[in-house]
Structure 1
Amino acid sequence: MIGVDIGTTTTKSVLFTADGKVKESHHVGYPLHTPDALTAEQKPDEIFAAVLSTIKKVVAKGKVNKEDLKVVSFSSAMHSLIAVDESGEPLTNCITWADKRAATYADKLCNQRMELYKRTGMPLHPMSPLVKIKWLKHEHPEIFEKTAKFISIKEYIFHKLFDEYIVDYSIASATGMLNLETKQWDEVALTNAEISPLQLSTIVPATHVSKGIKSELAHTLKINEDTPFVIGASDGVLSNLGLDAIDQGEIAITIGTSGAVRAVTKEPVLDKEGRTFCYAFTDDLWVVGGPINNGGMILRWAKDELAKSEAAVAERLDVNVYDLLTKMADTIPPGAGGLIFHPYLSGERAPLWDADARGSFTGLSLHHGKEHMIRAVLEGIMYNLYTVLEPLEELIGPAREIKASGGFARSEVWKQMMADIFNAEVRIPESFESSCLGAAVLGLYAIDEVESVNVVEKMVGKTTHLKPIPENVEVYKKILPVYRDIMNSMKPHYAKLAELQHGEESNPYSKNKNDA
C-alpha cells in the first residue's frame, strides 16, 4: 500500500507492507513562491509532477509487482485554492494557506464571523478558500469570470488522474463552505463567496475509491489501470490516525513547516469564541483543534538570519545545521535567560486568527547572545502551541496523552521542551510518516481489507516516551503567563505594525502586467 502526502513544500510517497512497516519512501520538494509579504503560491503542475515522481520511485525501488499493490491513498495540506477553466487548465497558481492577500475580504465578512463559524466550523481567516474566492471576484474579475471550478491541489491531482472533480469531507470542510451537519455545500457560505455549488467539486467520503487511472499514467507509474486510488483526507486528521490518536483524551501535535494541535471527536464541537476549528472527517468523526502558521519555518528563519556562520560551518563539515542549532540552544538553561519570543513572523492562525500578527523578542538585554535567541525561538513555538491546547482542553477535557510527530522530533532538545512546557508525557513514534501511514490505513479500510482504522495501533511501531523534568516545568510555569500577557497586550498594535511593513501589494494576476 502507498500513502501519498501532498505537503506545503514537499510531496512524499511511502510504500508500506501490509503490517504497516515502511518498505520504501521518496520525497520531492518544490518552491513556495513568496515575492512579497502577502503572496504564497505554488505551481500546480510542479506538485502533480512530484506526486507522479514519488509514486513511480517507490514502486520501482520496492520492486512492486502490479498485482501486489493493494491501494494508493492520499493525504493533503488544506486551504489551497486553484481557479481552473472549462478544460481544467489553471487560471491561477495554487494559492496556499499561507497567502494573506485576501485579508481585507476577511475583514469585510467579520460581522458574519460567528454565523459562518457555527455553520461550517471554520474560523474566518484569509487562508479560507471562501475568502480567497471573494478576493478573486472583486480584485481579479477577469480571472473569476473565466473560472469553471474552484478546487484544491488534491482535487487538481485527482482530475489529472481520473478526469473527475471530487473532494473529501475534510478538505471540503477546510474551504469554509461545507455545512458541518449536512456535509453539503452551505448556502450561506456560498452566498458570501458569490458562487454556486456547480463551481465546486462533488463531495465524497474520505473512503471514496477511484479506479481507471489514465492508461498513459498507469504506464508511467508501472501500475495497473484498475489500482484503487482512495481520495483520503487532510494531512492533519490523517496524522492523528497515523499516530493512533483517535480516542477520547488523545491529542496529536504536529510541527512541520507549520504546526497544529488536534483531537478526534464523535460529534461536532464548537468554541463559543471561535478559537478552534471543527472539520468533518468521516460520517461519524470530526477533528477539532487549531493550526499555527509558524512551526519549522521559524527555525529555518533563525538559521538563515541568526546563524549564517554556523550554517556555513555545518555545510563544510557535512553535518545537519539544525542539529547544530539545537545543540547551541541546549547550552542555555530553560527559559532562555528571561528572553521570550513570539513566533508570529507569518501572521498567525490559532490562537490569534490574525493575519497582521507580527513576531517579537521581548526581554532582550546585553547578556543575551545568539544561543539565547535560538533557544527562545524553539521555546516560543512550543509556548504558542500550548496556547492552542488550552481552548481545546476547555472543549473536550484535559489531554490524557499527547502524541507528536513532525520534523521537530529529530531533535532531542526540542522534544524534551514539549514535555516540559506541556507538563505531560509525550509519545513520539520512531517513524516520521504519520500522515502517509494514516492515508494508507484509511485506504485499506476503504477497500475492505481491514474492519476498522483502529488496526493502526498495531502499525505505529516503536515509540519514544518523554516525561517532563520537574525543575524545568517550574521554570516554564512562570514564563507561560508572561508569554500570554505579552501576546494579548500586543494585539491592538499588530494592524499598525503590518501597515508600516506593507509596501505596494504584489499583483501577479494584474491586467496591467506585461504578458509573460
Structure 2
Amino acid sequence: MAAAVHSPLYLGFDFSTQQLKVVAMDGNLNVVHQNNVQFDSELPEFRTQGGVHLHADRLTVSSPVLMWVKALDLLLDKMKRAGLDFSRVRALSGSGQQHGSVYWRRGASETLKQLDPDQNLYQLLQGSFSVSDSPVWMDSSSRQQCQDLQAAAGGALRLAEITGSRAYERFTGNQIAKVRQTRPEDYQDAERISLVSSFAASLFLGDYAAIDYSDGSGMNLLDIRTRNWSEICLEATSPHLDRLLGAPVPSESVLGPVSSYFVRRYGFCESCRVVAFTGDNPASLAGMRLQRGDIAVSLGTSDTVFLWIQQPRPALEGHIFCNPVDWKQYMALLCFKNGSLTRERIRNECAGASWENFSAALRDTPLGNNGNMGFYFDSMEITPPAVGVHRFDPDDNELSSLSPQVEVRALVEGQFLSRRLHAERLGYSIIPGTRVLATGGASSNKEILQVLSDVFNAPVYTIDLSNSACLGSAYRALHGLAAESGVSFCDVVKKAPDPQLVATPHPTAQEVYGRMLKRYARLEERVLQETRPRSMAATTDQL
C-alpha cells in the first residue's frame, strides 16, 4: 500500500469550450482523480453562454482569456482540497479547444518567469493579454481573410495540399489576419501568439510554450509535410508572423520543468515535466489509443471519423493533421452532419419508432440491399456539401420511395459507404489488422455496428470515450517521458483496457461493398451535380 501512495502520477488537462477538466492517472493507467470547473456556472462574472461570448453580428464568437486563467486557479485549488499530492506528479500535458488564439502583451514573458506564489494566476496575469477576448472555433467572421489566403496559396485545393485543409473561418491563421487588420494596435502590442493549447502549457511552464505539430496543423499555416510554417501562408497572413508564433515542435516534446510558481504554491516536484499540449481532437485520438490503420467512428448527433493515416491526400473536405502520438504519421478528421438525428427519423417513419424493429430490418435484409441505395441529407451536409434525400434502384434510376425495411438498410449502408469513401479519399486504406473503434450513442446497436463492420470489411470494437481528451493528455504526459528513451506510444498504453469486439465482417462483405463503393462514388457525384447551386452556397457559408 505504501508504494501505491507514493507512486508517480500523470496529469491530463483539457481546456475545452465549456469547462476545464483534469484527470490524474497512475503508472498503471488507472484514473485516480477527476475534477472540473464549469465556466458559466462557476465563473459567472465572465457572463459567458456555453463558455463563449456571442457578439451582435452573430458571426463573431470569443472567450475571455482571464476566464481560463481563473478556472485553472480554481481547479488546482479543488484538487488540493481533495487531497491530491502534487509532489507525486512526474509529468503533465493537456489539450485545448482547437483553433482558438491568445495574444500575449509585450512584457508578459517576464511576468510568466517571475510569478509570485503568494498570489493566484488571475491576479498576476491581469495585464498580460493585448486581446482580452480570444477568437475561438465557433467564430465565422473571417470570410474575407479565408478568400485572401486561398488566393495567395493558389486556390483552395493547393492550400489543402500545403496545410491539410482548405481555408476555414475558424482556423487560427485567418483569425490572426482579421485581428491584424481590424485591431492593428492590439496586434502590434502582442509579443507572442499562442493557441489555446500552447497558452495553457505556457502557464505551467512559466515561459512561452511551443505550438506542437498536431494542433499547429489546424491553423492553415503549417506545412504538414515539412512541419515548418509555410512561407506562403505566413506572408499572406502577416509579415514576420513566425516571430510571434515561435518554432513548432513534435507533439511528444518535453518542453521543460514545471514553473517554480507551481512548486512553491502547490507542492509540485521540481523534476515534474511539462509535455507539449495539443488540440482536443488530436488528444482524443490519443485517448482512443488508435494504432496504425485504425479508424474511429463516433456515432452521435453528427458522425465524426478519426483516422490514422500514413500518406495523406488532402482534399477540399475534411482535415489532415500531424499525428499527435507519432510525428512521422498523420491523422485525419471528417465530420458528417446527418448522423443520429437522421437515423432516428428513419426509425420513426419506417420502424414504428422502435429500435428493435429498426434492428430487425437490418437483420432481415441482405448485404448490398439487392442493389437499392440511398443518400439521406436531411440538412445541408458538410461531407459532401449536398442536401436532400435521393434513392436509387439497382439500375441507378432515382426512386421516390422504398419499402420500410429496404429504406432502413439503404440509410445505414449509405451512411457508412460515405464514411469509407471520404476516408479513403484522404489517404486511409484498410490494412491487415485494421480495427474500427465505435463510440457514441448508436454504438450500442449491434446491428448498426454489423453493417459498419461489413462496409469497412474490418472488425468493430466499442470503446468508452468519456473524458477522452483528458485521458489522451495524461497518456501523452507519460509518453513524453518514455519517448526520450525511444518508447512508442502504443507500448506506453498497452496496459489500458482493451476495446470490446462486437462485430466481424461477413465472408462476402468485401466483394459486395467493394463494388458498391465504386457505384456509391459515381452516384454521389450525380447527387452533387443535381444540388450544385445549393451546395456551392453552403460551401461558401461554411468557410
TM-score, normalisation: structure 2: 0.68
- How far did 1:222 drift? 5.6
* 2-structure distance, mates of 1:230, 1:89: 24
Contact 2:221 2:230 in 1 (8 A): yes
Shift of 1:435: 3.6
* Counterpart position of 2:475: 441
Which of 265, 285, 294 pairs up with 1:250?
294
Could you tell me how far apart the structure 2 residues matched to 1:470 and 1:445 are?
37
Aligned partner letter, 1:438:
G
Deviation at 1:189, TM superposition (A): 1.4
2:172 maps to what in 1? Answer: 129
Amino acid corresponding to residue 412 of structure 1 in structure 2 = N
Identify if the C-alpha distance between structure 1 residues 193 and 179 changes in structure 2 by more than 3 Å, giving closer, same or farther: same
Counterparts in 2 of 1:165 and 1:488: CA distance versus 1, 3 Å: farther
Q: What secondary structure does 1:79 align onto? A: coil
Where do residues 14-33 of structure 1 align in structure 2 (5 Å cutoff)?
Answer: 14-30=23-39, 31-33=50-52
Cα displacement (A) at 1:55: 5.4
Answer whether contact 1:358 1:494 (CA < 8 A) is retained: yes
The alpha-carbon deviation at position 190 of structure 1 amounts to: 0.7
Distance in 1, matches of 2:60 and 2:413, equals 28
Q: Distance in 1 between matches of 2:442 and 2:73?
A: 28
SS of the residue corresponding to residue 90 of structure 2 reads coil
Task: Give the conservation status (yes or no) of the 8 Å contact 2:479–2:492.
Answer: no
- Provide the identity percentage: 16
Matched, 1:43 2:69: no
**Partner residue, 2:281:** 236
Cα 1:410–1:164, aligned 2, differ >3 Å: closer, same or farther? farther
Asked if 2 retains the 8 angstrom alpha-carbon contact of 1:4 and 1:12, the reply is: yes
Q: Which has the larger displacement, 466-475 or 32-41?
A: 466-475
Between the aligned partners of 1:59 and 1:423, the Cα distance in structure 2 is 49
In 2, Cα distance between equivalents of 1:442 and 1:189: 29
Tell me if structure 2 keeps the 8 A contact 1:270–1:276: no
Q: Name the residue aligned to 2:133.
A: 93
Letter in 2 for 1:462: D
Which deviates more, 397-406 or 105-114?
397-406
Asked whether the 8 Å contact 2:87–2:267 carries over to 1, the reply is no
Q: In 1, distance between residues paired with 2:12 and 2:409?
A: 35
Residues 289-308 of structure 1, C-alpha deviations (whole Å, 9 max, x = no match): 2332748xx768999xx9xx
Amino acid paired to 2:481: I
Cα distance per residue 1:150-176 (max 9 Å; x no partner) = 321112223333342221121222222
Aligned pair count reads: 467
Which among 462, 465, 470 is matched to residue 498 of structure 2?
A: 462
Deviation sequence 1:117-137 (CA, Å, 0-9, x none): 444334333232222222333
Give the deviation of 1:214 after TM superposition.
5.5
SS at match of 2:259: coil
CA distance in 2, matches of 1:8, 1:344: 25
Whether the aligned pair in 1 keeps the contact of 2:165 and 2:316 (CA below 8 Å) is no
Contact 1:358 1:498 in 2 (8 A): no
Matched, 1:174 2:218: yes
Provide Cα deviations, 1:283-332, integer angstroms capped at 9, x if missing partner. 8522132332748xx768999xx9xxxxxxxxxxxxxxxxxx99599578
Asked if the contact 1:209/1:229 (under 8 Å) is kept, the reply is yes
Partner Cα separation in structure 1 for residue 64 and residue 356 of structure 2: 37
Query: Aligned AA for 1:81?
Result: S
- Classify the secondary structure of the residue corresponding to 1:242: helix
Matched, 1:107 2:147: yes
In structure 2, C-alpha distance between the alignment counterparts of 1:175 and 1:212, rounded to whole Å: 27
Bigger CA radius of gyration: 2
SS at match of 2:229: coil
Aligned partner of 1:152 among 195, 198, 207:
195
Q: Which amino acid in the other structure matches residue 176 of structure 2?
A: I
Judging changes above 3 Å, is the alpha-carbon distance between structure 1 residues 488 and 160 closer, same or farther for their aligned structure 2 residues?
A: farther
1:2-46 deviation per Cα after TM superposition (whole angstroms, max 9, x unaligned)? 222333444432222211122232344441545566444333333
- Matched-pair contact (CA < 8 Å) for 1:5–1:76: yes
**Structure 1 residues 17 and 498, CA gap change in structure 2 (3 angstroms):** closer
Following the alignment from structure 1 to structure 2, what is the Cα–Cα distance between the partners of residues 398 and 475? 16
Q: CA deviation at 1:464?
A: 1.6
Gaps (5+ residues) in structure 1? Answer: 307-324, 503-516
| Residue matched to 2:306 | 261
Asked if 1 retains the 8 angstrom alpha-carbon contact of 2:150 and 2:159, the reply is no
Residues 260, 497 of structure 1: alpha-carbon distance in 2 compared, 3 angstrom cutoff: closer
Match of 1:194 in 2: 238
List per-residue Cα deviations over 1:378-430 (Å, max 9, x = no partner). Answer: 9887565334313135x655584234365447643665564455453212234
**Which of 308, 323, 333 is matched with 1:290 structurally?**
333
Aligned to 2:163: 120
Q: Which of 87, 93, 113 is residue 73 of structure 1 equivalent to?
A: 93
In the aligned structure 2, how far is the partner of 1:498 from the partner of 1:272? 14
Which whole-Å deviations, capped at 9, do the CAs of 1:84-133 have from their partners, x for residues lacking one? 43243151533233432223332333342344444433433323222222
The answer to whether the Cα contact below 8 Å between 2:459 and 2:505 also exists between their aligned partners in 1 is no
Give the letter for the 1:184 counterpart.
Answer: N
For residues 507 and 166 of structure 2, what CA distance do their matches in structure 1 show?
A: 37
The answer on whether the counterparts of 1:264 and 1:285 sit within 8 Å (CA) in structure 2 is no
- Which position in structure 2 is the counterpart of 1:452? 488
Kept in 1, the 8 Å contact 2:214–2:323? The answer is: yes
**What is the Cα deviation at residue 198 of structure 1?**
1.6
The aligned amino acid for 1:134 is A
Structure 1 residue 263: deviation in Å?
Answer: 0.9
Query: Whole-Å Cα distance in 1 between the matches of residues 456 and 424 of structure 2?
Result: 10
Q: CA RMSD in A?
A: 4.7
User: Is residue 89–residue 272 contact of structure 2 (8 Å, CA) maintained in 1?
Assistant: yes
SS at match of 1:204: coil
Paired position in structure 2 for 1:309: none
Unaligned 5+ segments in structure 2 are 1-9, 40-49, 109-127, 346-352, 392-398
SS in 2 for 1:447: helix
How far apart are the structure 2 equivalents of 1:51 and 1:326? Answer: 45
Change (3 A) 1:339 1:142: farther
**For residues 91-490 of structure 1, what are the structure 2 equivalents within 5 Å?**
91=131, 93-111=133-151, 112-113=154-155, 114-141=157-184, 143-166=186-209, 167-196=211-240, 197-206=242-251, 207-213=253-259, 215=261, 219=265, 223-224=268-269, 226-247=271-292, 249-254=293-298, 259-265=304-310, 269-271=312-314, 277-279=320-322, 281=324, 284-292=327-335, 294=337, 327=355, 330=358, 333=361, 340-342=375-377, 348=382, 351-352=383-384, 357=385, 360=388, 385-393=419-427, 396=429, 398=431, 400-404=433-437, 406-408=439-441, 411-412=444-445, 415=449, 418-419=452-453, 422-430=456-464, 432-448=466-482, 451-467=487-503, 485-487=526-528, 489-490=530-531
